[in-house]
Amino acid sequence: MAGWWLYLVRTGSGSLYTGISTDPERRLKEHAGGPRGARALRGRGPLQLAFALEVESRSRALRLEAAVKRLDRPAKEALVAGRLDALGLVAQDLGDDLVDELSDDAGDDAGRPGA
């Protein structure tokens, strides 16, 4: 069974789009130029995968996606930059267990595309 990923895409204007997928690279290509891409990203290119984090299940990915979508822009930028200390300020939004998961995965550069 494929793992699930939380991902953030940066648009040409610098906005961040949050989603989940079993294959973030494939999903980025769909967003960039296919009928299966998110409507919110159409005409907003070029698109770049800014962050990706593998999680244990679809339900976990959905919960994490919802939490990240509630974050303000500075917190999302902190997540993309790997500054997990800044996420401590928003632990109530993410939930302590999800902050722990992000912190555990950050040690192996899991959230950094191309790492």
Residue 52 has what pLDDT?
93
Please give the single-letter amino acid code of residue 18.
T
Strand partners, 10: 16, 48
* Residues 23/6, Cβ–Cβ less than 8 Å: no
**What's the CA dihedral at 10, 15, 20, 25 to 10 degrees?**
-20
Per residue in 47-106, pLDDT (tens digit) is 999 999 988 899 989 988 998 998 889 989 998 988 766 666 555 556 665 666 666 655
Instruction: Read off the pTM.
Output: 0.77
Per residue in 4-18, pLDDT (tens digit) is 999 999 999 999 999
Residue 115 has what pLDDT?
42
Per residue in 96-115, pLDDT (tens digit) is 656 666 666 555 554 555 44
> What would the mean pLDDT of 13-29 be, rounded to a whole number?
94
CA separation (Å) from 4 to 19, 21, 65?
11, 6, 11
Residue 82 has what pLDDT?
83
* Residues 96/68, Cβ–Cβ less than 8 Å: no
Q: Among 73, 57, 56, 92, which residue's Cα sits nearest to residue 8? A: 73
Residue 46 has what pLDDT?
93
Start-to-end Cα distance in the chain: 23
User: What CATH topology corresponds to 4-106?
Assistant: GIY-YIG endonuclease (3.40.1440)
